[in-house]
Amino acid sequence: MQHLTYQTLDGTSASLSPDEVDTLSHGIRGGVLTAADAAYDETRSVWNGMVDRHPALIARCLGTRDVLHAVDFARTHRMLVSVRGGGHHIAGNAVADGALMIDLSQMRSVRVDSEKRTARVGAGALLGDVDHETQAFGLATPLGINSTTGVAGLCLGGGFGWLTRKYGLTVDNLVSADIVTADGTLHVVSATQEPELFWAIRGGGGNFGVVTSFEFQLHPVGPQVYAGLVVYPYAQAQQVLQAWRDFNAGAPRELSVWTVLRQAPPLPFLPESIHGKEVVVFALVHNGDLEEGERLAAKVLEFGEPVGSMLGAQPYAGFQTAFDPLLTAGARNYWKSHNFNEITDDLIDEVIRGAAQLPSPECEVFIAQLGGAAGEMAIEDTAYAGRDANFVMNVHGRWQAAADDDKVRDWARNVFRDTAPFATGGGYVNFLTEDEDNRVDSAYAQNYARLQQIKQQFDPENLFRVNQNIAPAALAKTA
């Protein structure tokens, strides 16, 4: 084996001898991959098909000891580092050219304590793994809406989904975590153990180390919930979006109703004449009494004259997979997002105009309803700072051919620009693309300076920089 070239933290290239690579490999139970290995390409691939990067080495970690060894190795050699959980982030931060990828994707264990209503979750677990185990006991924790999303990245950036209005964000339900920091030390953090580091990882992303496991609070959910979709023709968009806005103002926390503006997929409950046409979709979940859920869902059917609906009692874990077919890995994706306090008539008009110009059949604009428990905590209670966001909009560009890159990205950027006057100015870090480094500080608002100080304490050399990066305080001053 020849010397292996890698990217350093200083932006230069350096090399590792075969013996040095062996030193890393001997400490990683899952093994180490190079470009010569058959599993290399599959392992470096991530959800966003636009991301095609080649790490120098991939450390396939099976436990915390492996992670400790990998971090020590990277620090010693000043290697650029990326960390892969589910590999689902839009910016593709799981992988970087010439880096050491610390691959946690095989660490997918989920252990439920039904008496304490907690779950211990490995850093490579996907949302579907957690829902599968917790729903066996009629329990759940607030996660996202796509079962193939990684729990680690979702949680570290905040995390929201169908249960958030009732039970808060994913980070609001984090009880404790195990994290390996840049100096190769394992920390067990909670509200009472190293609370400052615990505060930072509750929204601060992967800036402070490699979290190897999470402990979450669970809540009674389902296993049956009242859920489904209501679809309206685009000609009724203004009417139904205004009705949705007004309805949400008095909706109970057990109910979440999100809206999606897109072309109608060929769903069996929709007439064939509407397939491929622009529509307004309302997706809803009621976590509570099924009859009350049915009564509330009936109100959504009264927004206008729907072209189709699919509503009823169904397994919560099943509905968590409902959108998986629209979000499969490998497509090209580009996102732009805003937070909003309120949905005004003028904002609705801009969203309708933007979604009327969808550049690809897979593109969409969705607006998630938050508020409720998510807005009750003070901004300074966690690193996540978007407590004033009652709604989060994601302009989701999704397409297949590289020739359409400019067309789709321009569309997403234009919708983002036109809706900016109505936004809070903050942002959701899990939705930030790789070209939005300038939005990181505003996403954390008044918490940013505190995060920089904690970064200075636990990662002064910025070893963990392949993320929505928070520069250490000292480095930020010299930049």
> How many independent structural domains does the chain possess?
2
| Residues 231 and 376 grouped into a single domain | yes
Asked if residue 228 and residue 92 are part of one domain, the reply reads no
Residue 211 lies in a domain: no
Please count the CA atoms within 13 angstroms of the CA of 241 that sit on its side-chain side. Answer: 28
In a domain, 452, yes or no: no
Residue 168 makes CB contacts below 8 A (sequence gap 6+) with 142, 373, 374, 376, 377
What is the C-alpha to C-alpha distance for residues 139 and 66, in angstroms, rounded to an integer? 31
Residues 426, 297 within the same domain:
yes
Give tens-digit pLDDT for 181-222.
Answer: 999 999 999 999 999 999 999 999 999 999 999 999 999 999
Residue 281 lies inside a defined structural domain of this protein = yes
Quick check: 72 and 61 in contact, CB under 8 A? Answer: no
- pTM, 2 dp: 0.96
Query: 3-state SS string over 290-344?
Result: HHHHHHHHHHHCCCCCCCEEEEEEEEHHHHCCCCHHHCCCCCEEEEEEEEECCCC
The C-alpha atoms of residue 458 and residue 268 are separated, in whole angstroms, by 53
Given 56, 78, 103, which residue is the final one in a domain?
103
126 inside domain: no
Specify if 463 maps to a domain: no
What was the pLDDT predicted at 478? 65
Any domain includes 265: yes
pLDDT tens for 95-143 read 999 999 999 999 999 999 999 999 999 999 999 999 999 999 999 999 9
228 & 366 share domain:
yes
Say which CATH number the domain at 369 has. Answer: 3.40.462.20
Distance CA 174, CA 200 (A): 12
Q: Do 234 and 92 have their domain in common?
A: no
CATH (domain of 30): 3.30.43.10
Residue 423 CA: distances (Å) to CA of 270, 296, 343, 365, 436: 33, 28, 9, 15, 16
pLDDT of residue 479: 58
Helix then strand then coil, % of the chain, to nearest 5: 35, 25, 40
d(CA 97, CA 118): 38
123 CB-side CA count, 13 A = 26
Task: Let me know: does 158 contact 174? Beta carbons within 8 Å.
Answer: no
- Boundary of a domain, candidates 103, 119, 145: 103
pLDDT score, position 172: 98
Residues 386 and 257 placed together within one structural domain of the fold: yes
pLDDT on residue 71: 98
Report pLDDT for 476: 73
Contact indicator for 317, 223 with CB cutoff of 8 Å = yes
What lies within 8 Å, CB to CB, of 203 at 6+ separation is: 156, 157, 158, 171, 382, 383, 384, 385, 429, 444, 447
Domain that holds residue 409: 224-436
For residue 112, being part of any structural domain is answered with: no
Note the pLDDT tens digit of each residue in 23-59.
Answer: 999 999 999 999 999 999 999 999 999 999 999 999 9
Predicted pLDDT of residue 475 = 78
Token look-up 């949302």 returns 127
Low-confidence ranges of the chain (pLDDT < 50): none
Evaluate whether 465 touches 440 at the Cβ level (below 8 Å).
no
Contact at 8 Å (CB) between 173 and 190? Answer: no
171 is a domain residue: no
Do 469 and 225 touch, CB atoms closer than 8 A?
Answer: no
CB 423 within 8 A of CB 336: no
Interatomic CA distance for residues 45 and 259, integer angstroms: 30
90 and 236 both lie in a single domain: no
Contact 301, 267 (CB under 8 A): no
Q: How far is CA 359 from CA 209, 313, 404, in A?
A: 39, 35, 9
Say yes or no: 94 and 236 in one domain. no
Q: Which of 103, 124, 144 is the last residue of a domain?
A: 103
